[in-house]
Amino acid sequence: MLAKFIEKLAKEMEVTESFETEVPGVYGIPIDEGISILISTRPRGFSISCTFGDTPKGEKEEFYTQCMQANLLGKGTNGAILGLDAEAKRLKLTRDIDYTIDYYEFRDMIEDFINSIDFWIQEAQSYVSEEV
């Protein structure tokens, strides 16, 4: 099912190269220079994730409080979970989705996911302050 969704999405985006990765069941959709969404199969659905943007250098407490509120209330995440990568240096957005959706819901979720990434990149940049 996911392979069919990915194929249809590529056609709609008029992309000629494949979104398949070296890992079976994992697809990569480039959205910006150095930023790709990874979509992978799970037993009853799939997972969408993206590591993007550096964490702010200043005002960290206020920014992380905003992130926690976003996760709690879903504001700015569109149902995804905002977190950090393993080194706690870059932001990461993740969402698990069941196979109960149709292609159009899938496409809209991908669009919302990309919009959330754009939003959080801008938010992180707004918290940059000069360190003394």
> For each of the chain's 132 residues, which pLDDT tens digit applies?
899 999 999 999 998 888 999 999 999 999 988 899 999 999 889 999 999 988 887 778 889 999 999 999 888 899 999 999 999 899 999 999 998 999 999 999 999 999 999 999 999 888 765 443
Fold of the 2-126 domain: Yope Regulator; Chain: A, (3.30.1460)
| pLDDT score, position 1 | 86
- Residue for token pair 């960290």: 60
Identify the residue whose tokens are 């969404």.
37
Query: How many beta carbons lie within 10 A of that of residue 89, not counting itself?
Result: 10
User: Can you tell me the distance from the alpha carbon of 113 to that of 120, in angstroms, rounded to the nearest whole number?
Assistant: 11
Q: Cα–Cα distance between 65 and 41 in angstroms, integer? A: 31
Tell me the three state secondary structure of residue 55: coil
> Residue 52: which region, alpha, beta or left (left: phi > 0; alpha: psi -120 to 50)?
beta
